[in-house]
Amino acid sequence: MQTSTTETRTIRHPMVRIERFLPEGELTTLLSRVLELESQFQPSGTHDNRPDLRQSLVLNPPADLVKPVVDKVTAIMPHVFSALRMPLTTTLEVEAQVTAHNDGAFFAVHTDADYDKVDRRYLTYVFYFNHSPKAFTGGELLLYDDILRNNKLARSDTFQVVEPTHNSIVLFWARVMHEVRRVNVPSRLFRDSRLTVNGWVNRAPGA
């Protein structure tokens, strides 16, 4: 009698992490301007309006504010696609927002790519910066592995941990399941938040 076997394989998705991403002058200007725009941040939302999924503040920034990050993300695309073992797409658009995670903020497990709602998202990037000295704990980014079973992918219980290190960026495939752990900010001051310029490298329309 033959015994059927199910082959299971864990897939760890590659990521790119770069330290000291921006020159100090550009970084100082970015932080200063973001703190000045505190009153313009709005509570974040999700496509399905689930309050238990995400708590943070977001800003739809003026283009010049995030231009240093967007320009550099665009410039490193050949290196990033090679490191992620993904085919280079030449027609790309970079989307950006600024996010502040203050005390109790989090983002539960999710994917940034949805074929029905945001089908053009190809890569996700997160650039971390904060007021010095750092006044928050937590806020680690978890990038989940996948399990391949019978040619079908499912989220694993294992993951990579990315620390929210000042002036660093991480980039990964937008379909990778990920989450942001709860952030603790004892002062509850906006300036002490976990701050990011985050967004997506999108396929251009028709690409």
On whether residue 55 sits in a domain, the answer given is yes
Instruction: Let me know how long the chain is.
Output: 207
On whether residue 3 sits in a domain, the answer given is no
Q: Give the C-alpha separation, 129 to 80, whole Å.
A: 21
CB-CB contact of 69 with 105 (8 Å)? no
Domain count, the chain: 1
Position 52 scores a pLDDT of 77
Q: What is the pLDDT of residues 16-35, one digit of tens each?
A: 999 999 999 999 999 999 99
CATH code, domain carrying 182 = 2.60.120.620
On whether residue 72 sits in a domain, the answer given is yes
Q: What is the pLDDT of residues 126-183, one digit of tens each?
A: 999 999 999 999 999 999 999 988 777 788 999 999 999 999 999 999 999 999 999 9
On whether residue 116 sits in a domain, the answer given is yes
**Residue 188 confidence (pLDDT) above 80:** yes
On whether residue 137 sits in a domain, the answer given is yes
The neighbouring-strand residues paired with 201 are: 94, 123
Q: Which of 92, 93, 88, 110 is nearest to 44 (CA)?
A: 110
On whether residue 41 sits in a domain, the answer given is yes
Report, as an integer, the average pLDDT of 97-117. 88
Structural domain boundaries enclosing 71: 8-203
On whether residue 198 sits in a domain, the answer given is yes
Backbone phi, psi, residue 34, to 5°: -65, -45
On whether residue 27 sits in a domain, the answer given is yes
- Is 74 strand, coil or helix? helix
pTM: 0.90
* Pairing between β-strand 194-203 and β-strand 92-101 as defined by DSSP bridges: antiparallel
Cβ count within 10 A of residue 46: 13
Where are the alpha helices (H) located in the chain, listed in sequence order? Answer: 24-36, 63-75, 77-83
CA 118, 60, 166, 164 dihedral sign is negative
Backbone phi, psi, residue 157, to 5°: -90, -5
Position 120 scores a pLDDT of 79
More confident residue, 205 or 182: 182
CA angle 66, 181, 11 (to 5 degrees): 90
Q: Which of 22-26, 116-120, 149-153, 186-190 has the lowest mean pLDDT?
A: 116-120
